[in-house]
A = this chain, B = another copy of it.
Amino acid sequence: MNLKLQWLKNKMLSLNLQGMIISNPTNIKYLTNIEAEGTLIITPKENIYITDGRYIEYVHSILTLFDEIIVYNVNDISKEDYENFFMFCENIGFEENYISYATYKEYIRKFKINNFVETEHIIEKQRMIKDEEELSNIIKACNITDECFKYIISYIKPGMTEKQIAKEIDEYYTERTDGISFETIVASGENSSKPHAVPSNRKIQNQDIITIDMGCKVNGYCSDMTRTIFVGEPTEEMKKVYDLVLNNQKFALDQYKEGCSTRQVTKLVENDFKLNGHDLIHSLGHGVGLEIHEPPYISYRNDAQLKENMVVTDEPGIYIPGKFGVRIEDTVQITKFGCISLTKSEKNYIII
């Protein structure tokens, strides 16, 4: 059996679960490498992946004997099959955050489940700690992001639209990677005051500030980086906000290490923003892996501790509605005594 499934079977044993239904597609990709629509079922007898006709051929091309997973076409499974999967099982785990209320009810009926047990993100928790292969993929994605950023600051000229710049980034990634890890943000001028701006037809002008939030995927693993750059000399107000964001971004990097409290580091950044008359309106960071946003979430609402080989972002931002915004973000690997920036692009004023 593959190592990740073996880990899961051991974990289930320790939780007294005789079976489990895995619905989160990212968890299925993590455990099996399959990216399709389907459900992974761990029974006492066998591991089963249930999908439909569209994916059968693809799934067989991904799995190896080593995975020990039997593939079923959902249309070939009888009422009796469903009832047999978990026969004589007491406790069956499920992903309470990844099945709808309707599916929850359907499963209990269809599988005749005795005791359906919430598993509280057991797989997501394991996914927070990256192994060597996962780290290697993320590092590749971050390196290509640095290269793409270097290219894009030489490419941007006044008169280009935000959409055109975003498209250039997307193409750079498409040619070299599995593609973008989220919708590229290029937000210029007053658009930069929206943390979640969508690239528009606004043209880059002199004296603009431009926030670029970008990332790609390598073998399914993501990178995430934001830089805020200037077209021509920034105003004193822009500089002041930029310096405040950058100082706090660096301060947080200094705190990031095994044992760091995510709530505390966020509070410290928030306090410094408040002291300077600004708010931290989103979280300070998030885990990065198969998903662009995954646990741990670094915010004051969530008290997690950073651990070795977590990969997280550090991305404070300040947004002044109708005027401008600044966000600076790196993807970093947590170590026992600090953190390693995996994205390494320039963070001092970049003026084009």
A58 at the interface (CB under 8 A from B): yes
CB–CB B99/A54 < 8 A:
no
A81 at the interface (CB under 8 A from B): no
Interface residues on A, range: 20 to 34
A155 at the interface (CB under 8 A from B): no
Other A-B pairs beyond A97-B101, A100-B101, 9, CB < 8 Å:
A53-B282, A54-B196, A54-B281, A57-B321, A99-B100, A99-B101, A101-B101, A101-B104, A167-B174
26 cross-chain CB contacts under 8 A = A52-B282, A53-B195, A53-B282, A54-B195, A54-B196, A54-B281, A54-B282, A55-B196, A57-B193, A57-B194, A58-B194, A58-B196, A94-B101, A96-B100, A96-B101, A97-B100, A97-B101, A97-B103, A99-B100, A99-B101, A100-B100, A100-B101, A102-B118, A104-B104, A163-B174, A167-B171
A193 and B57 alpha carbons, distance in the complex (Å): 9
A337 at the interface (CB under 8 A from B): no
A146 and B251 alpha carbons, distance in the complex (Å): 54
A7 at the interface (CB under 8 A from B): no
A296 and B346 alpha carbons, distance in the complex (Å): 52
Query: Copies of this chain, how many?
Result: 2
A230 and B163 alpha carbons, distance in the complex (Å): 35
Q: Please give me the residue from chain B that is nearest to A194 by CB atom.
A: B57
A98 at the interface (CB under 8 A from B): yes
Interface string of A149-168 (1 = CB under 8 A from B): 00000000000000100010
User: Chain B residues with Cβ under 8 A from A104's Cβ?
Assistant: 101, 104
Q: Please give me the residue from chain B that is nearest to A301 by CB atom.
A: B75
Kindly identify, within residues 77 to 118 of chain A, every residue whose CB is under 8 Å from any CB belonging to chain B.
94, 96-105, 118
Q: What is the minimal beta-carbon distance from A176 to any residue of chain B, in angstroms?
A: 12
Kindly identify, within residues 168 to 215 of chain A, every residue whose CB is under 8 Å from any CB belonging to chain B.
171, 174, 193-196
Q: Closest 10 A-B residue pairs measured CB to CB?
A: A53-B281, A96-B102, A101-B104, A54-B196, A96-B101, A97-B102, A54-B195, A97-B100, A101-B101, A57-B194
User: Chain B residues with Cβ under 8 A from A174's Cβ?
Assistant: 163, 167
User: Chain B residues with Cβ under 8 A from A96's Cβ?
Assistant: 100-102, 105
Q: What is the minimal beta-carbon distance from A162 to any residue of chain B, in angstroms?
A: 13
User: Chain B residues with Cβ under 8 A from A105's Cβ?
Assistant: 96
